[in-house]
Amino acid sequence: MERFGEPVDLAQSDLAFTHDDYATGQSWIIISVAQKARLLGRSAMNPPNPLKTIGLLAYDDMQALDLTGPLDVFGAANALASGMPPYGLHVIGVHTGTVRTENGLVVVPACSINETPPLDTLLIPGGIGSRIGNTDPQLLAWLRLQAKSARRVVSVCTGAYLLAAAGLLAGRRVATHWQYAEDLARRFPAIHVEPEKLFLRDGRFATSGGLTAGIDLALAVVEEDLGAAMSLAVARYLVMYVTRPGNQTQFSAPLAAQAQATGRMSILVDWLLAHLKDEITSERMAEQVSMSPRHFRRVFADTFDTSPARFVEHLRLEQACLHLTRDKSSIDRIAASVGFRSADVFRRAFRARYGATPSEYRARFAR
């Protein structure tokens, strides 16, 4: 297999793919064999797996990105594949006619639930409609019927409400948007909601957190079907910063800190991220926000509900996770790059937080 970016025979003739290969058929994307080979290496020339039909449910007041994000992931896999596309994509409406999403986007489904083709994978987006409209007996019966035959059933964000209402998630581990996790668990006590998970899989059912987490789950589906090289190529094609494994939390530590921080503390978060490899003490942090050490520790605890030392360790461990999944540096070098003065201390802290060693984490989640 060629490595990404190595020269490819540009004498290959260009191939044109319509947007219809993966969405509505209203616009064109032109991509050459050479472009695809650069992304995927010579493996792009191998015959694809048999066509997998994916049905994406569309209903009024769904969250548009929960549908269009995964749709574009699968569509990009089609555009990057050699020969026949690996996925047949069908947007399926609850009823005939158009569907209006939460943000006003109008979607025209290819068919209704009464005309569903045999599906390999069923994907249910979330949105207001899933939380207030999950008592439609026709829809729930259809979900149960499809779940019997589909190889895989996927929900994004609060799409889990529909699967739970159909009785399909009882006894299963479930991810959903963090803001609705408590409500989902209250309304459907037979399911086991894990509010921090980005996405997870329990048997044939895969569920994800909110919005962009659905894109991460769709990339994981592509990896399962077509391999890690294709999944990574799709992520690059969509200009994603990094592909995230399902065990990551929906809220990154920096994002959560920025949401909590006020006043001078908001400046501190950016400073910490830029200086993780340095020695960071409470006194040095206090200097950055022009406070006395004693006053700083009190304000910090009130703001972040933890100690400065534990907060910094959390930031360092999360950054270490990114390094472990993205580059091949040694464990000792990664530990030093995020501010741990001893690789042994790093390993102990990492295991305490994630329940695995850095090497085990890399083996499971590295791309």
What number of helices (H) and strands (E) belong to the chain?
A: 16, 13
* 8 A C-beta contact, residue 129 and residue 61: yes
Joined together, the tokens standing for residue 35 give 């472009």
CB atoms within 10 A of CB 29: 15
Total residues belonging to the chain:
367
Report CA-CA distances (Å) from 104 to 69, 125, 308: 16, 16, 44
Helix, strand and coil in the chain, % to nearest 5: 50, 15, 35
> What is the DSSP code string of 200-236?
EEETTEEEE-STHHHHHHHHHHHHHHH-HHHHHHHHH
* 8 A C-beta contact, residue 31 and residue 79: yes
Spell out the alpha helix ranges (H) of the chain.
33-40, 64-80, 128-132, 137-149, 160-165, 181-187, 212-226, 228-237, 253-260, 264-274, 282-288, 293-304, 308-326, 331-337, 343-354, 358-365
CB atoms within 10 A of CB 50: 8
Return the half-sphere exposure (C-beta side, CA atoms, 13 A cut-off) of residue 348. 6
Report the alpha-carbon distance of residue 100 to residue 50 in Å, rounded: 33
Q: Residue 104 class from Cβ within 10 Å (0-12 exposed, 13-18 middle, 19+ buried)?
A: exposed
Does the active-site annotation cover 157?
A: yes
Report the alpha-carbon distance of residue 362 to residue 367 in Å, rounded: 9
Which residue of the set 143, 157, 166, 220 is catalytic? 157
* 8 A C-beta contact, residue 15 and residue 32: yes
So which residues are the catalytic ones? 157
